[in-house]
Chains A and B, each alone.
Chain A
Amino acid sequence: MSFLPTPLGGRPDALLARAGGLTRLVAGLCWLLAVVLTTQPLVPAVVCLAGLAALLGWSGLDARLVAGRFGPVFVAAVGLAVVAAVFSPLNGDPAATAAVELGPLRITVPALSGAMALGLRLVAIALTSVLVFGPGEVTGLADSLVQQARVPDRFAYGSVAALGLVPLLAADWESTRVARRLRGLEAAHLPGRLGGLGGRLLTLLVSAIRRADRMALAMDARGFDSGRRRSRYRPVRFGVPDVLVLAGAVGVAAFALAAATWVRV
């Protein structure tokens, strides 16, 4: 299963990996804010370009791996844009200039612009989340959230532990399918398969609770959340990489918004 939040295995010395997780989160929020604030396609376009540059230049991630794993999102974005363009109510506006006219199909410029904005926005959001959560490792993100944003240890490291269980649950999920199949319960048609999901989910839930119980027991036995103040094996400091990432992200967002104000598409 390739959509699971398994590590993308980036280089630890990349700029984005050396910046704290909280820094990446704030930088990412800047971009998301810029993208949702306007309906102009230019803003997500600028963010997409900057995001692509950051992915290739400063993330330390293997761009081909990212492309392979998030390819479906990009395909969906294109599909969404096409559908939005073809079925936009703005196409019925006789005053608007037609961008495409093919027999009965008429797509107006405002409809095309809106559809492009929609598709680009989806890509920009996906790209931003890859840049926020992809570089470095999940522990670094938890360390940063706990030490810089005062997120409770219990929540942050509990989530880290839970993420480690996800591949096991994925294997369990596969096993439940095999079990139903061998009992002759796997329907050939889609509605039947959806009906079987309830039983599989129940089994998965039982297994998830059992595993989480065992994990919680093991964590308690090692003194986690015992009321004592935890010390830090990896202190997180706000440094030059954080300044660079924040400045870069804010700069890109500001530039995109400014360009959208002056250049009407």
Chain B
Amino acid sequence: MIEAPPPILAEGLRWTYRGATRPALDGLHFRLDGGQVLLVLGPSGSGKSTLARALAGIVPHALPGAWTGRLSIGADDVPATPPARLGQRVGLVFQDPESQLVMPRVEDEVAFGLENRGWPRPEMLRRVPQALALAGLSGFEQRASRGLSGGEQQRLALAGVLAPLPRLLVFDEPTANLDPPGMQAFFARLGELATRREHTIVVVEHRLEAVLPLADRALLLDEAGRQLAYGPPAEIGPVHAGALERSGGWVPAAWRRPGALPTGGFAARGPSQPVTPSPVPAVDIVAELEGVAVRYGADRDLRTALVGVDLVLRAGERVGLVGPNGSGKSSLLFVLAGARRPSSGAVVVRDASGAPHDPRRLPSTVLPGMVGLAFQDPEIGFVGRTVGEELGPGAGPALVARFGLDGLEGRDPYRLSQGQQRRLSLAALAARNPRLLLLDEPTYGLDRLGSQQVVAFLDEGRVAGQAQLLATHDPRLLPDCDRVVALEAGRVVFEGSSAAFLAAPPFDPPGPWQVSP
């Protein structure tokens, strides 16, 4: 006999992490019926992930801090219920598929949670294929977990969480790392689960358009973890969209009154720079790829990352680089950074006088002014022990203040908040002002405010004549690109205006790649 999905009740819930100066969650008050879908919206730092952790009992049981008020799942009061019992009823899917998959083989991964709960083997043998079917992975039993695409890995994580029959499912930005088709497939599965009404579902997401239609209730949080509103999305959305937007959160297009708020991309900031007319004099060319191929691996498992890629990047131009996971975007960035030698073809970066250089041979005194790379995870790119060291001698007080880093110069970069880390990596790039700026998912995990800061930074660079190559899964960034280059399996399958790309994405199916209206 399967339990009914539990209602969730929060009354004056407040939680402060030990050592924090303000509560992460400050006075939440809502009641969600069993079997309903709750969408949690808010800017960075609004406590969305903390709420997800509280529903799984990680807060307060595994992390130290101060708890007041009430949160209950069905009859279980969270602070008073042993985590093992909560774990039986709650399934939690995290952001990053790669760091939540435990077992190398798909069926073992699904069985892992069942083994932990002591399921008898015959029942496991029956349940594993069922859970895989729910996640759309039937027939994947014997595959290698880490050989799956990002989207498939995340659905495998879903299957593993679904297997032990939890009644409450909590998703913490489950599609942040997925390409658009992976995201769409994931939400399709989530939609099927929602219509079965066998689970109470809580979803924390930045990519709102796909998940909003599934939500019965929405919880709006502000930047300090306070509740802005709770209720049916269609009722509270349009009323509180302004407050949510002011706090820095993403707002679904459906909630905006016509003309009141920007839609699609970041176009409301003003007209973007005109596309550099072609043909251009050679001096305007910043980087060129000609017939570049990259292969890697030893003879037997030789894999191809890029095949015959031709590309020209000009001064004052932003080029969007799109494609599914594993299509060669990172390899292309690394080749331009001179960090990977092409198996064949030519890579050239040009200095201000138009003289060509091989980026792999540029002396270390010249290279920082020629090429810069913003990593998806800013931490990976840090080279300094302090913020000041990371910024380098080129960063004056004005620049430090502009990126909101004043007073932090002596701090350890790894101890900054995520938003501060992103701003630090951009400030360090601004201080060097490279002719060619390469960016890997520069708005990853950022709220609306953070994303707009990134775009404003990019706009300044472009006006100043910087060439920018921006690899992204986020179609919202494309309308501001002068050109879009699409990769599939290492080949350029499209090169043209962003409007042309968004009107007819060169992928099959094209739907997921288009910006939602």
Contacts and interface: CB of A to CB of B under 8 A. Distances in A.
B152 to A, nearest CB: 15
A139 B98 contact: no
Contacts of B102: 157, 160-161, 164, 215, 218-219, 222, 224
B334 A178 contact: yes
A231 B104 contact: no
A230 B300 contact: no
Contact of B115 (A68, A199, A231): A231
Contacts of A224: 102, 112, 116
Nearest to A233: B111
Interface residues of A, number: 62
A211 interface: yes
B345 to A, nearest CB: 20
A206 B161 CA distance: 28
Contact of B112 (A188, A203, A206, A222): A222
B383 A160 contact: no
A178 B115 contact: no
A94 interface: no
Interface of A is mostly: helix
A150 B305 CA distance: 44
B124 interface: yes
Contact of A184 (B96, B116, B299, B368): B368
Contact of B364 (A188, A211, A234): A188
A192 to B, nearest CB: 10
B118 A137 contact: no
Interface stretch (B131-139, B197-205, B370-378): B370-378
A203 B119 CA distance: 40
B94 interface: yes
B161 A222 contact: yes
B284 interface: no
Interface in A172-209: 172, 174-188, 199, 202-203, 206-207
Contact of A165 (B99, B385, B414): B99
Interface string A140-178: 000000000000000001001101110110001011111
A185 B96 CA distance: 31
Interface string B481-513: 000000000000000000000000000000000
A185 B111 contact: no
B58 A217 contact: yes
Contacts of B337: 178, 181-182
A62 interface: yes
Contacts of A104: none
A176 B324 CA distance: 24
A54 B446 CA distance: 54
A170 to B, nearest CB: 12
Given A175-B381, A181-B364, A185-B364, A214 B99 contact: yes
A13 interface: no
B101 A230 contact: no
Give the most central of A7, A138, A139, A174: most B CB within 10 Å: A139
Interface of A: 2, 7, 62, 64-65, 68-69, 137-139, 157, 160-161, 163-165, 167-168, 172, 174-188, 199, 202-203, 206-207, 210-211, 214-215, 217-235
Going nearest first, the 10 A-B pairs with the smallest beta carbon separation are: A218-B100, A223-B116, A233-B111, A184-B364, A178-B339, A222-B113, A214-B99, A226-B84, A179-B381, A184-B368
23 contacts: A64-B300, A160-B104, A164-B146, A167-B146, A176-B380, A178-B334, A179-B373, A181-B339, A182-B367, A182-B371, A185-B364, A203-B380, A206-B379, A211-B99, A215-B100, A217-B94, A218-B157, A220-B58, A221-B56, A221-B58, A227-B84, A231-B124, A235-B121
Interface of B: 56, 58, 62, 83-84, 87-88, 90-92, 94, 96, 98-105, 107-108, 111-121, 124, 128, 144-146, 157, 160-161, 164, 298-300, 334, 337-339, 364-365, 367-368, 371-373, 375, 377, 379-383, 385, 392, 414, 432
Given A207-B377, A210-B379, A224-B116, 20 more contacts: A139-B105, A163-B104, A175-B380, A178-B334, A182-B367, A182-B373, A203-B382, A215-B99, A215-B102, A218-B92, A222-B116, A222-B164, A223-B164, A224-B112, A226-B84, A227-B84, A230-B115, A231-B115, A232-B121, A233-B115
